[in-house]
Amino acid sequence: MTGVLPVTLEESRKIVQALLLSGKEYICVMKLHGEVPIERVKAVLTEFEDTIYQRPPLRASVKRQLRTRKIYYIDLLEIEGRNVLFKVGCEGGTYIRKLCYDIGEALGCGAHMQELRRTRAGPFIEEEGIVTLHDVAYWFMEWQKNRDDTILKKFIQPMENALALVPKIYIRDSAVDAICHGANLTAPGVLSIETEIANGSTVAIFTLKGEAVALATAEASTEEILSMEHGVVAKTRRVLMPRGTYPKCWKSGEI
């Protein structure tokens, strides 16, 4: 497989779980094991645009148990002989080679994945801001020569970019250091929130300057949070900002 692969460095490794759960997009070449009319292929691909059941293949890094995954779209791009080129947008954790196998079963002829390229991983798109390993090697050598940190920006993006698609809660400066010490976020600390936050979903806690403070689990929906005057809004799960970045505004023993 080739394509987009987000790589986290140092403290940004804490957001890996958020990236793993984000949506993906692939371009795939599927090899059919028999002749199938084009219209039949189109019809079957459309049938898979839904929530599907998948059991990870034998050569997988996770436990082989049945699970559901969402297929957002499958666009047929080209068919040449038994080679089917299609683009698929799916939930994180979807196995495309298993998807090809299942499509082959539905077609009645069998199929396998021949080539795969990831064109999107969460907010990172192949056409925008992605660098090759050759670029990384070149700019890193340039940085070693000049020790100019602005060079690093040519191939390293801020951690906040990886959280672009995660719903956010923006908090008061006075609440930041308490969150950095592991406190849960309560209603008085909230200044603004984004829509589509569901109870139990993963949210990113941000400062008004757009700095990532922590990942948390929402304890209420957007509508409920807006009406809350007190109580826990989100339970802090993973602190991203170092302690002391913002001044301490809470008394010892409050956390």
Q: What secondary structure does DSSP assign to 71-108, as a single string?
A: EEEEEEEEEETTEEEEEEEE-TT--HHHHHHHHHHHHT
Q: How many residues does the chain have?
A: 255
CATH number at residue 217: 2.30.130.10
* Amino acid residing at 68: T
Say what percent of the chain tops pLDDT 90: 75
Q: What are phi and psi of 254, to 5 degrees?
A: -80, -25
In a domain, 181, yes or no: yes
Query: Per residue in 124-150, pLDDT tens?
Result: 998 887 888 899 999 999 999 988 989
- 36 plus 116 within the same structural domain: yes
Question: For residue 105, what are the domain limits?
Answer: 2-6+22-125
pLDDT at position 118 is 96
Count of domains for the chain: 2
- Between the alpha carbon of residue 91 and those of residues 43, 101, 174, 213, the distances in Å are 21, 18, 37, 26
- 114 plus 33 within the same structural domain: yes
Position with higher pLDDT, 30 vs 133: 30
Pairing of strands 232-239, 185-186: antiparallel
Could you count the other beta carbons within 10 Å of the beta carbon of residue 250?
Answer: 14
pLDDT at position 16 is 87
Half-sphere exposure of residue 147, counting CA atoms within 13 Å on the CB side?
0
Query: Per residue in 48-62, pLDDT tens?
Result: 999 999 988 777 777
In a domain, 26, yes or no: yes
User: Of 100, 125, 150, which closes a domain?
Assistant: 125
Position with higher pLDDT, 20 vs 247: 247
In a domain, 15, yes or no: no
| Residue 74 CB contacts under 8 Å (≥ 6 apart), including other chains | 45, 46, 48, 49, 86, 87, 88, 89
Q: Is the pLDDT of residue 85 over 90?
A: yes
Query: Per residue in 97-128, pLDDT tens?
Result: 999 999 999 999 999 999 999 999 999 998 88
- 103 plus 45 within the same structural domain: yes
pLDDT band for 19, please (50, 70, 90 cuts): confident
Closest CA to 192 of 169, 174, 175: 169
Q: What is the Cα–Cα distance from 243 to 4, expressed in whole angstroms?
A: 32
pLDDT band for 254, please (50, 70, 90 cuts): very low
- 32 plus 110 within the same structural domain: yes
Say what percent of the chain tops pLDDT 70: 97
Which pTM value belongs to this model? 0.84
In a domain, 251, yes or no: no
- 109 plus 41 within the same structural domain: yes
Q: What is the mean pLDDT of residues 24-30?
A: 97
The torsion angle over the Cα atoms of residues 36, 41, 44 and 50, rounded to 10 degrees, is 150
